[in-house]
Structures are given as structure tokens and as C-alpha cells.
């Protein structure tokens, strides 16, 4: 039986096999294997729906690093299932769409490999129970999305967009990792399921709030919440299939998933409620407000995605108060906001995926996405127009489309939350429905822009790159399916609600599941309540604002493009690069002597710091053996040779004096009764001397300067300090020991390894693999040197001889 662990690993396996499949020269399209993988995983996950709906969960573990509590544990419940179905289902449609969208001249092998990497990483995020494993997959989504965004790497804007998304999302990931470590410090476990059980007792811990903020930092950066949203519009430089997959249905939902998963850990607290709800609402407003001013269709959809993500985030924030009330009627009442959030998460994936694909078809067929150059495409591209109409009206929250249902639930939750008697809802809480309503008006306006300014009005053929035509049949299949789902969900919402959404809500509130039913009955008609009147107001004011743009567009002058977070980001990045380059150039001089000075100085400070902190500088020579006359002679010879090197007038003299040092050390090994070390030292010294002589033979003649030598005081002090540090260490280790001896273990070498020579047994048995790898490295280096000598030595010799 295929376990959930293999569900995560199969896309990675497909990513490895895909290049081989591509090189076989088969006539089958390279996207066929990824699509088979996506369809198979989606179909496999469908079989879990009835069991998950009945409250069952699935847990599978593969041991990875058990000593640190890190295991590859996958956990499937309602929340992870809903995301996994979106990842594989939308992934299937995107791959089908990309087969017809991308040219055969593109690097399709790279594209589908990156896409499979991303699918596997996303499945790893939503199915992982271990926080460290979740973090690994989290960062893999950033890396694979970077590769996908930069797929057209020849374009500067693609590279810049990929860089921006990587910097922001990876920064958030680092913060999230620190938050996970804080949670581990508090609970002693890395399992999310176990943390959910333990954390309610930790709300007063000093790390509780910092861990919460860091986890939210990671979630907000990934889900493009204000002020981290600036990476998403630039990521639109990616091919449209990437935008439809990553930036509408999957990657941007990873942060949403994280908030949902950690709601039972941090939810119910006022700070969690206000941060998640407040950031979500402001993102909702700012995204919709900025979307209206865009002239590029994909840029408009990017800001609309930011806005919709803010809407979902705010609903999770509002729904979290259910945990504050515990087992009560209020818990069920306020958990409905979480139900609406998950419902809109699915709805958004359907209508936004359809819209991205429709915009991609327009761009593919006419060569532009500039709204100012478009118009009158409805009769020429009727299917694309229909898909865009359904997607836009659903995004605007109009019936009979699924977006209307979840938007009404959002309005109702925003109104109901003001009745709370906690968290100062009687004052600042009244802004929640106002902000939600105003943002929805702008949402209605930009939805109308997509439909009316792109497909209606006069046809501007002279402004297009090429005459308009309806997209290929294969390219239309995926957006038509998504548009059909938009309508189908509106007609049969409770099938989705009972089997998919309700189990996911119960996963967000696991402590409330056993006591009460958290499901919601979805109805298209719920009476003339406040939510419906808010919708009517959105439509009326939205039509007026769309019809008379000159009467209010002046407000955008208050927020000039030059005064933006993008400008701040670009300035910060530019200054950081300049400062880093200046600082690096200050010490990266290209001179070896400077790098040696840095190393020696660092060593001196390290040794001095260790002596001061540990107080271990203490030695005595009373117990040392007597120094024989031969040892004194050899030591004095080494000193004289070392000093003489500094005054050598030729390379040959310097090499011979250096050899005196090496052979002198070998003689000391002989006196100390270590013949094997002495032999090794003599062989190495001989080989080194020969290599020096061979190398210097090919160098130009050394012209010694006649100017008098000048003593560099800093270099002299560093040299003396380095030598003194080694001497101090050698003397101090005789009488000080910070740790237990390891030699006692190796003294048993005969019993452990069958060898009487401790050095030999260490090299061949205890460090066998290490020694083998060292030999392999030397072999590779030797082959490289031989190749260079064989191919280049003759030419280089001639060159230097001519000089």
C-alpha cells in the first residue's frame, strides 16, 4: 500500500526521472509523466475523503534522525487533505494547460522538473507533522518557486522577481525556524500534534509570544501579507502556468495553512486575533485598492490575489476566537468564520486559477496583457470571455458563482465579530466590517475592469501584436473545468462543505470536535440580513465607481508609485550590495599574505579568549623529562634554519633551508622512538622539496630588490603572537584537561581492531572511511594534476622560457 510518505516523495522521484524520460527521444510530450503523477496522486487522495469525513486521521512515520526527535512523519486530517487535493488537482490542470501554452523550443525538461519539485515540497509542507521536516519542505517551496519564476532567466525582470521572492520568503522561513525552536524549548517535542496538546499550558511562558510572532512572520511572508506582499506582483514575470499554480492556488496558501494549523496552538489569545485579523484586513484593502490602478492584467490579478489572501487570513483570525470560549455555543458560532475561510480558500483557487489561465490565453494569442490596448475580444474569443466572466463575477462576489457564498459568509462573520464582549470589540472592532465592505467595493471595480475593458468595447487590432484568435482547444480545457467548478460549487455547496470543509474545520479546532458539531449549512439565500445589504451596497457603489473613474481616481496621487515599499526594498537592496561590496573589497585584496594575517590574528584571539574564559593557562615543567644534548642541537638547528629563510637571497637556498626544518622534525621523531612517523615525515618532506623545485623551475627569474628591508611592525607582532600562541597551547595542555581523555579508548586497539600499533589502527580501522575518502581526494587531485601537466605543461614552459 502506498503510504502518505511516498505521496510526498513520488513527485521528487518524478523530478529525477523526468530528464531521462525527455532524453529518450520519444514522441510523447515531456509533460505527460508529470501529469500522470499529479492525476494519480489526486485520485489516490480522493479515496481518503469518506474516511476523513467520518473523523478518521492517518499517521505514517519513517525514522530519520530519532536521536534529535526528527522523523519523517506524515499526518493526514481534514486540513491537510483539503490542501493536498488543491496541490494535486490544480497541479494536474496546470500541467495540462502548460503542455499547450509553452513552446517546444522552451527548456521543458527544466520546467517540469522544477514543477515536480515544487509539488513534492508543497505536499511535504501540508502533510508533515514534524516541525523540522515541515521547515525543510517550506524552504524547498521557496527554492523551487525561485527556479520557476526565473524560468525565463534571459529576462532581467524575471531574475529580479525570482530574487525578491526568494529573499523575502526565505527570510520569513528563518524566522519561522527560530519560532519552531522556541516551541521545542517550551514543549520538548517537534510533533505538531503533541504541541497542540501541550501548548495551552504554556501561554504564560516567556517564549510564547515571541514564538507566535516568528511563526506569523513566516506565514505572512509566504502568503504575501502586508508589508511582505511586494514579491508577488514581481513574481508575475513567471510563465502563466506558474502564476496559476504557485500564486493563486498553492504556494501562497502555505502561509494560510500554517496559520490554520497553528491556530489551536496560539489561537484564543488577543494578540493572535488582532495580528492575524488586522494584517489580513489591511492586506485585503491594500491589495484591492492597488489592483484598480494596474494596467497589466497579470499585475491586476497579482494584487487581487494579495487582497483575497488577506480576506482568507482575516477570517482565520476572526475564527480563532472560538478557542477563547471553550465548549460553548459561542465556539460553534465563531468557528463559522474559519469555515468561511476554508470555503473561500477552495473557491479562490478555482476562480483565480481560471482567471490566470484566461489571461494567459489572451497574452498567448494577441501578444499583450496591457488593458489599454485590449478590448472587443468577447466575440473573437467567446470561450475565454465566458471563463473570464465567471471567474471575475465570482471574485466580485456575485451569484450564481461560488465566490458569492463565501463572501456572504465573510461579511456575516465581520458583522458578528463586533458583538464580542472581548478584545475591545466594542470600539476598534467596529472597523472590521467597514474595512471589509470598502475593500469589497474595490474588488468589484477591478473585477469589472477585467471583463469590460478586456472583452467588451471596441476591438483595437492595430494596438495588438497579432490578430486575436480563440485559444487552442487543449489550452481551454483546464480553465473551462475550473469555471465549471465555480458554478457547480454554487449549485451544490454542501457536498463540498460536509465532506471537505467541515473535517478541515474540525482539524483547526481539535479540542472542540468531540463536544459539538462545527459544520455549517451553506445556503445561497439567507434572508435580507446585513450581509446581503452590504453586498447590494458593494454592487451599487462599485458600478458608480467603475462608471465615473475621473471623479475619484485622484486619490491615487496621494500614494505615488515612487513612495512605495517596492522603492524602499530596492533602495535597501542597492545600498546593502554597495556596502557589502565596499566592505568585502576592503579585506579581499587578492594578496595571500593578507589572508594569512587574518587567519593568524583570528587564531591568536581565539586562543587568548579560550585561556581567559576557561582559566586553563597553567603549566609546570617540574615533571618533564630531561632534554638531551641531541635534542638541544636539533632545536637550535631548526631555529637557525627558520630565521635564515627570512634572509635567503635565492629560491634554492630558501627551499633547502625549509627542508632542514622538515628533516629536523623527522630526527626528533626518531629520538622520540616513533620510526613510522619519522619515515612518513621524511617521505613527505622529500616529495615536497622536489615539487617546490619543479614548480620554481617554470617561474620567471626572481629579481631581488636592492632597497633596504623595512620591518612591518604589525606583521612582526602577529608572527610573534602566533608562535607564542602555539607554544602556550603546547605547554598548557600538559596540566589542563577540559574534557575526558579519548586515548584510553584507543589504547585498547588490539582487542578492538586486532592491531598493536595505535596509529595504524586509528588510520585503517577507527577512521577507515575518513582515510578512504582522503585517498580518493588525493587520487582525484593527482589525476587532475597529471591531466594539467600532460595537456598544458609544454606550452607553459615555452611561454616562461620566452619571457
Q: Are 279 and 226 in contact (CB under 8 A)?
A: yes
Task: State whether residue 64 is helix, strand or coil.
Answer: strand
- B/e letters for 207-233, b = 16+ CB within 10 Å, e = fewer, are ebeebbbbbbbbbbbbbbbbebbbbbb
Helix (H) or strand (E) holding 76: strand 70-76
- What is d(CA 81, CA 539) in angstroms, rounded to the nearest whole number? 35
Q: Where are the domains of the chain?
A: 267-551, 745-803
Cα separations (Å) of 366 from 74, 199, 352, 472? 45, 55, 21, 13
Model confidence pLDDT, tens digit, residues 50-89: 999 988 999 998 888 887 888 899 999 999 999 999 999 9
Residue-level pLDDT at 652: 82
Strands 70-76 and 58-65: antiparallel
Residue-level pLDDT at 39: 95
* Closest by CA position to 539, among listed 402, 378, 399, 430: 399
- What are the start-end ranges of the E strands in 509-589? none
Which parts of the chain have pLDDT scores under 50? 1, 796-803
Residue 69 falls in which region: left (phi positive, over 0), alpha (psi -120 to 50) or beta: left
Residue-level pLDDT at 321: 84
Q: Are 455 and 385 in contact (CB under 8 A)?
A: yes
Residue-level pLDDT at 37: 93
Residue-level pLDDT at 305: 94
Task: State whether residue 488 is helix, strand or coil.
Answer: helix
- What are the start-end ranges of the E strands in 115-272? none
Residue-level pLDDT at 793: 53
Q: Are 336 and 319 in contact (CB under 8 A)?
A: yes
Residue-level pLDDT at 404: 93
The runs of H, that is alpha helices, within 367-430 are 382-396, 402-416
The overall pTM is greater than 0.85? no
Cell matching residue 775: 585517498
Q: List residues bridging with 73 in a β-sheet.
A: 61
Residue-level pLDDT at 800: 39
Residue-level pLDDT at 49: 94
Residue-level pLDDT at 12: 93
Q: How many CA atoms lie within 13 A of 457 on its CB side?
A: 15
Cα separations (Å) of 394 from 70, 349, 351, 355? 43, 11, 7, 10
- B/e letters for 771-785, b = 16+ CB within 10 Å, e = fewer, are eeeeeeeeeeeeeee
Amino acid at each position: 500500500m502506498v503510504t502518505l510518505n511516498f505521496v510526498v516523495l513520488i513527485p521528487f522521484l518524478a523530478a529525477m526521472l523526468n530528464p531521462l524520460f525527455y532524453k529518450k527521444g520519444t514522441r510523447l510530450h515531456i509533460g505527460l509523466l508529470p501529469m500522470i503523477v499529479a492525476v494519480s496522486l489526486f485520485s489516490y487522495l480522493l479515496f481518503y475523503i469518506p474516511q476523513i469525513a467520518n473523523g478518521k486521521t492517518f499517521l505514517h512515520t519513517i525514522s530519520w534522525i530519532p536521536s534529535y526527535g526528527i522523523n519523517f512523519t506524515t499526518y493526514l486530517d481534514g486540513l491537510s487533505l483539503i490542501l493536498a487535493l488543491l496541490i494535486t488537482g490544480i497541479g494536474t490542470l496546470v500541467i495540462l494547460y502548460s503542455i499547450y501554452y509553452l513552446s517546444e523550443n522552451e527548456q521543458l525538461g527544466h520546467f517540469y522538473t522544477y514543477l515536480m519539485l515544487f509539488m513534492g515540497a508543497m505536499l511535504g509542507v501540508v502533510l508533515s507533522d514534524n516541525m523540522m521536516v515541515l521547515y525543510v519542505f517550506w524552504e524547498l517551496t521557496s527554492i523551487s518557486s525561485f527556479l520557476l519564476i526565473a524560468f525565463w532567466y534571459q529576462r532581467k525582470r524575471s531574475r529580479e522577481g525570482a530574487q525578491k521572492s526568494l529573499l523575502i520568503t526565505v527570510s520569513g522561513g528563518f524566522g519561522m525556524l527560530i519560532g519552531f525552536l522556541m516551541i521545542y524549548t517550551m514543549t520538548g517535542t517537534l510533533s505538531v500534534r503533541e504541541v497542540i496538546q501541550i501548548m495551552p499550558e504554556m501561554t504564560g511562558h516567556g517564549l510564547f509570544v515571541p514564538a507566535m510572532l516568528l511563526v506569523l512572520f513566516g506565514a505572512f511572508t509566504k502568503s504575501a501579507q502586508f508589508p511582505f506582499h511586494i514579491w508577488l506582483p514581481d513574481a508575475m514575470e513567471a510563465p502563466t502556468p506558474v502564476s496559476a499554480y504557485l500564486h493563486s492556488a498553492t504556494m501562497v496558501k502555505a502561509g494560510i495553512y500554517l496559520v490554520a494549523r497553528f491556530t489551536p496552538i496560539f489561537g484564543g489569545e488577543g494578540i493572535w486575533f488582532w495580528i492575524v485579523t488586522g494584517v489580513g484586513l489591511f492586506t485585503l484593502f491594500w491589495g484591492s485598492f492597488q489592483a484598480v490602478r494596474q494596467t497589466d492584467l497579470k499585475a491586476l490579478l497579482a494584487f487581487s490575489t494579495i487582497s483575497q489572501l488577506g480576506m482568507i487570513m482575516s477570517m482565520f483570525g476572526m475564527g480563532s476566537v472560538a478557542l477563547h470560549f471553550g465548549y460553548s455555543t459561542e465556539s460553534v458560532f465563531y468557528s463559522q468564520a474559519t469555515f468561511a475561510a476554508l470555503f473561500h480558500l477552495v473557491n479562490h483557487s478555482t476562480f483565480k486559477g481560471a482567471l490566470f489561465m484566461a489571461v494567459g490565453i489572451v497574452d498567448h494569442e494577441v501578444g499583450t496583457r496591457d488593458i489599454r490596448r485590449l478590448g472587443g475580444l468577447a466575440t473573437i474569443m467567446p470561450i475565454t470571455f465566458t471563463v473570464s466572466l465567471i471567474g471575475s463575477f465570482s471574485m466580485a462576489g456575485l451569484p450564481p458563482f461560488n465566490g458569492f457564498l463565501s463572501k456572504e459568509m465573510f461579511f456575516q462573520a465581520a458583522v458578528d465579530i463586533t458583538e464580542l464582549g472581548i478584545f475591545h470589540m466594542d470600539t476598534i472592532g467596529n472597523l472590521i466590517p467597514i474595512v471589509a465592505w470598502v475593500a469589497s467595493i474595490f474588488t468589484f471595480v477591478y473585477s469589472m475592469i477585467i471583463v469590460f475593458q478586456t472583452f467588451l468595447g471596441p476591438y483595437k487590432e492595430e494596438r495588438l501584436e497579432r490578430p486575436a484568435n480563440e485559444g487552442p482547444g487543449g489550452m481551454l480545457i483546464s480553465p473551462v473545468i475550473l469555471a465549471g467548478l465555480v458554478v457547480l460549487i454554487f449549485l451544490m455547496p454542501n457536498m463540498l462543505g460536509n465532506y471537505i470543509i467541515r473535517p478541515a474545520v474540525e482539524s483547526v479546532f481539535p479540542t472542540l470536535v468531540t463536544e459539538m458539531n462545527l459544520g455549517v449549512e451553506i445556503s445561497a439565500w439567507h434572508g435580507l440580513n446585513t450581509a446581503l445589504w452590504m453586498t447590494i451596497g458593494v454592487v451599487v457603489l462599485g458600478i458608480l465607481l467603475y462608471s465615473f473613474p475621473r471623479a475619484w481616481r485622484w486619490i491615487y496621487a496621494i500614494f505615488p508609485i515612487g513612495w512605495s515599499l517596492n522603492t524602499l526594498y530596492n533602495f535597501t537592496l542597492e545600498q546593502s550590495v554597495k556596502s557589502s561590496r565596499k566592505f568585502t573589497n576592503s579585506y579581499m585584496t587578492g594578496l595571500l599574505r593578507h589572508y594569512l594575517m587574518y587567519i593568524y590574528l583570528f587564531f591568536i584571539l581565539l586562543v587568548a579568549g579560550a585561556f581567559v574564559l576557561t582559566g586553563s593557562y597553567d603549566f609546570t615543567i617540574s615533571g618533564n623529562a630531561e632534554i638531551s644534548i641531541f635534542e638541544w642541537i636539533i632545536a637550535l638547528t631548526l631555529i637557525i634554519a627558520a630565521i635564515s629563510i627570512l634572509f635567503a637571497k635565492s629560491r634554492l637556498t630558501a627551499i633547502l633551508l625549509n627542508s632542514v626544518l622538515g628533516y629536523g622534525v623527522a630526527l626528533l621523531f626518531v629520538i622520540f622512538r616513533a620510526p613510522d612517523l619519522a619515515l612518513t615525515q621524511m617521505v613527505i618532506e622529500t616529495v615536497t622539496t622536489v615539487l617546490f623545485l619543479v614548480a620554481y623551475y617554470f617561474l620567471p627569474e626572481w629579481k631581488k630588490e636592492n632597497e633596504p628591508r623595512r620591518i612591518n611592525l604589525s606583521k612582526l607582532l602577529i608572527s610573534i603572537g602566533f608562535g607564542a600562541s602555539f607554544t602556550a597551547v603546547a605547554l598548557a595542555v600538559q596540566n589542563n584537561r577540559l574534557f575526558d581523555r579519548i586515548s584510553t579508548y584507543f589504547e585498547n586497539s588490539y582487542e578492538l581492531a586486532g592491531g598493536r600499533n595505535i596509529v595504524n589502527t586509528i588510520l585503517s580501522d577507527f577512521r577507515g572511511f575518513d582515510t578512504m575518502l582522503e585517498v580518493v581526494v588525493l587520487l582525484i587531485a593527482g589525476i587532475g594534476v597529471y591531466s594539467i601537466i600532460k595537456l598544458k605543461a609544454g606550452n607553459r614552459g615555452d611561454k616562461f622560457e620566452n619571457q
